[in-house]
Structure 1
């Protein structure tokens, strides 16, 4: 297998064609001119990863003999080595009294806390199905909080969960407190407290949650068609503009709008089904819906195809 090597071509060039990129033959260890075929370098050391394994090929375990990637979150990335030097050194020595090499396997308590947090954030990101960029943002937020020591004494689980919640909102893929709580080890109330403390101490901010932030995801999970999703989005925005649900959270209004739009369509969903997906209690959905139903004729968009007329919609 051969591929163009740009790094090596900066040191070894073809005397006849100096501007021509070289090709590296990994099997032979040769550097070859891609134009005339002249071997301009031989016995080149392959600095790539060793991917050969000696175990069952069906095994999913990665036995490549390479180290883990560097992580900028940790000082030194645990790749440095300490060497005992000098006659008075207290470092480890072999049986002949010579200094021994010792890997920096012992990490500080600060790095140990970061390692634990990074692992927990990774697990939460997998369960929430969010991108790697968001996971990195949550890691950096936790490091800032940890190094600032402003939340010293607070539960690490609550800080991790709050950092994930903030990262989701800043990355424009917001999750509700209940969704974060479902994949964490702490309560919704504690996550909310730590969330406010982080915003205050880091002097960062997040966009205000709107009903449209959750609508498409909730409707997709309920398998509702596009027409119903658009109607629910319109209903939620109109209800807030008309101030029909004062004091209700955007998530509650979103759930009530989905329930109303589905009841008027052929894809009816019960309040329990909507509650299971949105995380909003059935009683809350019904209360918001009850406040919206008297003005239902003004809430639906023009051109919506009613399967159940407005006057036949349930009253609660």
Structure 2
């Protein structure tokens, strides 16, 4: 049975729930009065303060260093006191400082690469709401990238983003490359270059297969974002299938443009009208591209 903790941060600004309020915090962070049962909401940790000195680090730390599967298992810092709190002599402090430098020199370049890449990958996955299994696949891809030393002279951020997108394509998760680059704030060209190296040099080693995004999946995704009925979306998908059977070549064409054009044509044939600007904005293409793809699809229907 989980026990609740006493909540000491109850101030006068909170309206009293009863004559003798006894505020506690449950395991899920919910503030509840133990006497009357009134729920006040969740207690969050905010107003984080940065630490600049050793004393501030010691006083503001709330967690212990997290164990990692790579790098040194212990951290030797420039300590000034022993385990009992007694002040160390200058000679002993110099010894620990020397040991800290020696330990730092023993860390390999691969481990330093992982130290920088792992938090970036986790943060990017968290912002994009990527499932954990896709993140694990992305880390497996990036590990092979680092082992082959493909990051030497290149951007680590670009390879982290490209590894995540490659894992997304393997699992066929509905995320566009433009969405990932916007969140990662990395130029699209850099990610394209890194992705090409991953597909050519990493996938054969890991025996993985890159699955390009299909126009059919984009039709239903864009249709849902535009709040179109399933009938309109299905008609758009059927248009693409028919035009492809009649000879429409999709090689060299962005699938987003074809999917958006099919949706626009399907909307014109129904009562659910959508403007070119609205569809182009959802598909992340220009209106000129949309009109061009509409003409191409019409010629094969």
Given the two structures, how large is their TM-score scaled by the length of structure 2?
0.65
Deviations 1:67-114 (A, max 9, x none): 465444x245xx43669xxxxxxxxx9339778798999565543432
**Map of 1:164-203 to 2, 5 A cutoff?**
164-202=164-202, 203=204
Judge conservation of contact 1:256–1:288 (CA < 8 Å) in 2.
Answer: yes
Distance (Å, rounded) in 1 between the aligned partners of 2:120 and 2:90: 45
**Map of 1:142-221 to 2, 5 A cutoff?**
142-202=142-202, 203=204, 204-221=208-225
Judge conservation of contact 2:247–2:300 (CA < 8 Å) in 1.
Answer: no
2:230 to 226, 229, 240: 226
Distance (Å, rounded) in 1 between the aligned partners of 2:96 and 2:123: 38
CA shift, 1:182, in A, is 1.8
Deviations 1:259-286 (A, max 9, x none): 1112222222222111111112221111
Judge conservation of contact 1:134–1:171 (CA < 8 Å) in 2.
Answer: yes
When residues 136 and 228 of structure 1 are mapped into structure 2, their CA distance, relative to the original with a 3 A threshold, is: same
When residues 289 and 137 of structure 1 are mapped into structure 2, their CA distance, relative to the original with a 3 A threshold, is: same
Distance (Å, rounded) in 2 between the aligned partners of 1:277 and 1:149: 38
- SS for the counterpart of 1:183 is helix
Larger deviation, residues 93-102 vs 107-116 = 93-102
Counterpart of 2:111? 111
Structure 1 vs Structure 2 CA RMSD: 3.6
Counterpart of 1:87? none
Judge conservation of contact 1:150–1:201 (CA < 8 Å) in 2.
Answer: no
Counterpart of 1:270? 275
Counterpart of 2:239? 235
CA shift, 1:116, in A, is 2.7
Distance (Å, rounded) in 2 between the aligned partners of 1:258 and 1:245: 18
Number of aligned pairs? 234
Give structure 1 stretches of 5+ with no counterpart: 3-24, 26-50, 84-92, 297-316
Judge conservation of contact 2:172–2:213 (CA < 8 Å) in 1.
Answer: no
Given the two structures, how large is their TM-score scaled by the length of structure 1?
0.62
Larger deviation, residues 206-215 vs 99-108 = 99-108
Structure with greater proportional helix content = 2
Judge conservation of contact 1:166–1:195 (CA < 8 Å) in 2.
Answer: yes
Deviations 1:158-191 (A, max 9, x none): 1112111101101111533322322223222221
Tell me whether 1:260 sits opposite 2:245 in the alignment.
no
2:45 to 33, 52, 60: 60
Counterpart of 1:287? 292
Counterpart of 1:251? 256
Distance (Å, rounded) in 1 between the aligned partners of 2:269 and 2:263: 10
